[in-house]
Chain A
Amino acid sequence: MPELTYLQAISSALRDELRADERVFLLGEDIGAFGGAFKVTHGFHEEFGADRVMDTPLAETAIIGTAVGAAVSGLRPVAEMQFADFIACGFDQLVNVAAKMHYRQGLAVPMVVRLPSGGGFSGGPFHSQNPEAWFMHSPGLKVVAPSTAEDAKGLLHAAIQDPNPVVFMEHKHLYRRVRGEVQDGIYTTPFKARIARRGENLTVITYGAMVPAALEATAELDGVEVLDLRSLTPLDVEAIVDSVSRCSKVVIVDEANATCAAGAQVSAVIAEHAFEMLDGPVKRIATPDVPIPFSPPLEAAVLPSVTRIREACDELLGY
């Protein structure tokens, strides 16, 4: 099996889908000849042409709205936001038009919106956000967030093949830092959690870029499980309850701002469904409710770190 970076795995999924299914096309800003801000579609323009790797005007509302129209017509658009942050400009089309379409009139909207998200590189307040919770709060959208190269490819194949609008959170920090063996060809990864490391003394429940951080933070600790959610909508309640039941202590990590984050929902699920299994308070680590600052020391002060995760685990293990 070839070893690919997280970014190459995403490219590989897109390329394989474009080759296999003529309904699939990509649209976004500067994704054509330039190959995208992060080069995810590097070389695609030559292979697939300008119609299937479509450069669009700088118009996020229109990108999402046009994708909706194409999707209900039976195509399979995959829209790229140059940065996740810019989905704010296309938010209405996504949450009002795409998300509610099937419920209202039984019309499927098979489209994917790729959101290069996350901080850690001085992107500042407008190039670092993790807006996944906005979409979890919008019935009709699925939200997935891979943490490994293998899942990045498998979840993207599954997202493109899904008959619903799927928000695909791809973490910029993982693009070139994470690599792993990735199967050739098309395979789908289910929208379910995965145990990244099995343990029995404490579970760290997280997703996206915080999965490698949690694995690193707890590598030396005894019996710490790391549950990688992979999918935020649908949320794998069964896997969460199972992990908590076996480990009894929980640390939940989000890179997103704390209030109403995915981790807040996980915490609520645990309170409702696994309260009796707990042997200590649920601990949450997340970015405080503050815009992501630009300057490195400020940014480092707010984003969850390996050290903060380790400290939280140590503390809870000693509870």
Chain B
Amino acid sequence: MLMMRGLEARALSLYKQGKVPGSFYDGYGQEAVSAGAAFAMAAEDRLCILHRDLAAHIVRGVEPARILAQYMGRASGITGGRDGNVHFGDRNRGCVGMVSMLPDMMCVANGLALAFKLRGQKAAALTFCGDGASSRGDFHEALNWAGVQRLGVIFVLENNQYAYSTPTSAQFAVDPVKRAETYGVRGVSVDGNDAEAMFAAVHEARTRAANGEGPTLVEAQTMRMHGHAAHDDMRYVPKELVEHWAARDPIKLQSKRLKELGVDLDALQRDVDAEIDAASQEALASPMPDPDTALDGVFCEGEATELADGLAPWSGWAHA
């Protein structure tokens, strides 16, 4: 979570310096959602990570320097400059990069889970999804299909109260958890600012998924604490709402717990900062892509490339 917050802060300052082209999105205040969820996944599991979920990439093992290079459109970024900011997934870490169209990746995650099912593998696929995106057809087709085929898939619905400027009250009349259940998908709602609660909910969903007990939608209740993107001052959000959630900052919450366990948080923060400084230097020193390569890679030539396993720092699935 610290790494996500620090990296995004660094990327934002690079953006303000004009070193990050395009637009800039972050997941400030939502770090517990992707950190907790990704931590509950095994190396062989597959993930489609979205635009507020940088911690999931970090947990899977994507190096901070490559993430900053990605924001800056450098050759050493995960997509080598072919796609921007958070639109990436490291296939060598078991991840399929998101497309802008939300929530298309829910259907893709079903396919990842279907592949496990057809091969008789005990593993799971996970994707994130926003509250706004739950209004689109892909959400409904994906939930329905996952319910019908009892796929081992986990949909983490990040309910951060707003889709760009649109509050959930203007987005849906029926709660997403209830909607999931009507499709035959188990639905649970958790405090998305509590990393341990996120971990527990996804851990349980993953156990069920891998054991053939079907799909789960985990609603993570959280708040988008920054504007939709860097250009957005989120004037439309009531101040009291922001204050309410500011008091429930996920990093503060987890820090308190860790302090009680005797963890040296200052040392941890120093390590993270040093790593980000080094990553930033490395990314800034890495070259921009060669314009002569702009046409390369539209098609795969030769053997089909495939997904490889990601890191799974929590080893709880080793004997699963």
Contact A139 B307, CB 8 Å, known A75-B115, A104-B97: no
Tell me the B96-111 residues at the A interface (CB within 8 Å): 96-97, 99-101, 104-111
B104 touches A97 (CB 8 A): yes
A93 at the interface (CB under 8 A from B): yes
B97 touches A65 (CB 8 A): no
B306 proximity list for chain A (CB < 8 A):
72-74, 107-108
B2 → A minimal CB distance (Å): 27
B299 touches A69 (CB 8 A): no
- Encode contact with A along B36-55: 1 for CB under 8 Å, 0 otherwise: 00000000001000000000
Tell me the B126-158 residues at the A interface (CB within 8 Å): 137-138, 141-142, 144-145, 148
- Encode contact with B along A21-62: 1 for CB under 8 Å, 0 otherwise: 000010000000000000000000000000100001101011
B300 proximity list for chain A (CB < 8 A):
102, 108-110, 163-164
B112 at the interface (CB under 8 A from A): yes
Picked from B90, B115, B138, B141, the residue with its CB within 8 Å of the CB of A74 is B115
CA distance A103 to B295 in the complex (A): 9
B46 proximity list for chain A (CB < 8 A):
73
A64 at the interface (CB under 8 A from B): yes
A96 proximity list for chain B (CB < 8 A):
99-101, 104
B113 proximity list for chain A (CB < 8 A):
69
Contact A59 B145, CB 8 Å, known A68-B111, A104-B79: yes
Contact A142 B115, CB 8 Å, known A66-B107, A73-B307: no
Contact A69 B110, CB 8 Å, known A61-B141, A75-B115: yes
A4 → B minimal CB distance (Å): 29
B114 at the interface (CB under 8 A from A): yes
Interface size on A, residues (CB 8 A): 40
Contact A62 B109, CB 8 Å, known A92-B104, A106-B305: no
A105 touches B141 (CB 8 A): no
A65 touches B99 (CB 8 A): no
A105 touches B88 (CB 8 A): yes
Picked from A51, A59, A65, A103, the residue with its CB within 8 Å of the CB of B104 is A65
A72 touches B96 (CB 8 A): yes
A104 touches B83 (CB 8 A): yes
A103 touches B305 (CB 8 A): no
B17 → A minimal CB distance (Å): 26
Contact A104 B82, CB 8 Å, known A62-B110, A66-B110: yes
CA distance A72 to B141 in the complex (A): 20
Picked from B137, B141, B299, B303, the residue with its CB within 8 Å of the CB of A142 is B299
Tell me the B72-91 residues at the A interface (CB within 8 Å): 78-79, 82-83, 87-91
A146 at the interface (CB under 8 A from B): no
B108 touches A163 (CB 8 A): no
- Encode contact with B along A55-90: 1 for CB under 8 Å, 0 otherwise: 011010110111111111111010000000000000
CA distance A67 to B116 in the complex (A): 13
A69 touches B108 (CB 8 A): yes
A110 touches B304 (CB 8 A): yes
CA distance A163 to B137 in the complex (A): 28
B285 at the interface (CB under 8 A from A): no
Tell me the A97-148 residues at the B interface (CB within 8 Å): 97, 100-110, 139-140, 142
B118 at the interface (CB under 8 A from A): yes
A86 → B minimal CB distance (Å): 13
B298 at the interface (CB under 8 A from A): yes
B299 touches A57 (CB 8 A): no
B298 touches A66 (CB 8 A): no
A140 proximity list for chain B (CB < 8 A):
298-299
B297 proximity list for chain A (CB < 8 A):
102-103, 106
A25 proximity list for chain B (CB < 8 A):
118
Closest B residue to A69 by beta carbon equals B111
CA distance A77 to B114 in the complex (A): 11
A66 touches B88 (CB 8 A): no
B101 touches A71 (CB 8 A): no
Picked from B110, B144, B148, B299, the residue with its CB within 8 Å of the CB of A164 is B299
B97 → A minimal CB distance (Å): 5
B141 touches A102 (CB 8 A): no
B69 at the interface (CB under 8 A from A): no
B108 proximity list for chain A (CB < 8 A):
65-66, 68-69, 72, 93, 97
B88 proximity list for chain A (CB < 8 A):
104-105
A102 proximity list for chain B (CB < 8 A):
297-300, 305
B223 at the interface (CB under 8 A from A): no
Nearest 4 Cβ contacts at the A-B interface:
A69-B111, A65-B107, A73-B115, A163-B304
> What are 26 inter-chain pairs, A to B, with CB distance below 8 A?
A57-B148, A59-B141, A59-B144, A61-B107, A62-B110, A62-B141, A65-B110, A65-B138, A65-B141, A66-B145, A68-B107, A69-B111, A70-B118, A72-B112, A73-B112, A93-B104, A93-B138, A96-B99, A97-B105, A101-B97, A102-B299, A102-B300, A104-B82, A105-B97, A106-B91, A142-B299
**Residues of A bordering B, CB below 8 Å:** 25, 51, 56-57, 59, 61-62, 64-75, 77, 92-93, 96-97, 100-110, 139-140, 142, 163-164
20 new A-B contacts, CB < 8 A, other than A72-B112, A163-B302, are A65-B104, A65-B106, A66-B107, A69-B115, A70-B111, A70-B114, A70-B118, A71-B111, A72-B111, A73-B111, A74-B306, A96-B99, A102-B299, A104-B87, A105-B79, A105-B83, A105-B89, A105-B90, A107-B307, A110-B304
